Structure 1
Amino acid sequence: MSVRLSDYDYELPQELIAQRPLRRREDSRMMMLHRAERAIEHRQFRELKTFLRPGDLLVLNDTRVLPARRFSDDGAVEFLFLERLGPKRWKCLVKPGRKMRVGATAKIDNVTLWVEKITSDGERVVALEKDVDLYAGGSMPLPPYITRPSDEKDAARYQTVFGHAAGAIAAPTAGLHFTPRILSEIPHTFVTLHVGPGTFLPVRSDNIAAHRMQAERFSISPEASNKINEARRIIAVG
């Protein structure tokens, strides 16, 4: 297996990237890779059950996406708030970074914030003039290949139907296609992995092995652990 990033380059036409989900989650297309036959088959997600075997267990991520995206009052700076560090202090990503160097200020909802520190990963530690909940009034942090502005519909559709543990700044996208009916028909369990800022950061080295992944918070309940240990084939839903 190659560790060169350039070996994984491919062309993806912009017009093939859907900017809106289908009306029904289960109508999404599903690509099946038959490894033994080295063949690809295109099906619909609602057919997932037909490909499972006795003893299979699907493991899904029940994290819930935070409304972490905010803009400065003048619209010049986009913020992605990663976590609240304490009273009046937050960690965030900003775009464009040149506008928010150490000491730079901005306003959100007429509350002034300023950059105290820039980490080695480019994250900003900002201080606020008063303690406010920056997730209140925020929007969904859609991935960069979705080029339209986020709206009220995304508050529901950019969440899985089973997500309940708030803490992610991006959705576990493979889980977006599940519906309550599909879940009722397949054996499954849940773990919690809060998707962090590493999902938005580029791989800067052509040697994949040299890329440093950021840590992410997770939890596995005793019940989920027991189910996983007892399963024959474990299928992770990313």
Structure 2
Amino acid sequence: MFALTPVVRTILIINVLVFFVTNESIIQQFGLHSFLSDMFSPIQLLTHMFLHGGFGHIFSNMIGLIVFGPMLERFWGPKRFTFFYFFTGLGAALLFSGINYFEIRDVYEAVQDYRLAPTPDGFMSFIDMYAQSLYDQVASFAERFEQQPDNQQFIDGSLQIVNRLYAGQVNEPMVGASGAIFGVIMGFGLLFPNTQLFLLFPPIPVKAKYLVIFYGAYELYTGIYRAQADNVAHFAHIGGMLFAFILVKYWGSQRKNFY
């Protein structure tokens, strides 16, 4: 059905094999953690690209790879395509990690402030700012804390909740090849902009350049306005597309040396 090229086939096989042996321990060890996490390791910038959180996750990524990757590999050759794939994947991880660092740093500072002055109002302000999706779960506790603001049991309980929320964010790993796959999609759209692609949903033809524009605009919007419970690394997708754009344009400016 798909005429796979050597590098695309190898990446596909590695991802599938890793998926079948992946468990929570492997994800925690090799998924990409925040720079602020004690669980962070530089090797995770690479290893997270071969881990996926579920069948739908790996299926969508590998479909993108086998649909758009082979033509790029034929155009550039195996070595340059391999470099492109990992360059965009690492670039995506760095952009995601940089933005994540500033987001988590704000949470960390809020946690530090709350530890110094744990009050009912401060507790609800923290929840409203950083964990709105958990409001219903802590509403009853917050109401009792409001009624007994000097009760050490409620003070300690609020600190446990705040610390647990922070730990959950700072130690939540990011996994998936999505950054590199979005880089591949961007590369395809830049090099073959007028290629007609037939979408499944909705079943209509669309030129590659318009698909890339749609993906980029959607990821930028959701990256900025995403909900806390979204659980999708939109800025990794944007990073993959951004670094793909930079590399393709650079190679284009060095045409006499690369093509």
TM bucket (normalised to shorter chain) is under 0.3
Q: If you compute each CA radius of gyration, which structure gives the higher value, 1 or 2? A: 2
Q: Which structure's residues are more often helix, by fraction?
A: 2
Please, what TM-score do these two structures have when normalized by structure 2?
0.25
Q: Which structure's residues are more often strand, by fraction?
A: 1
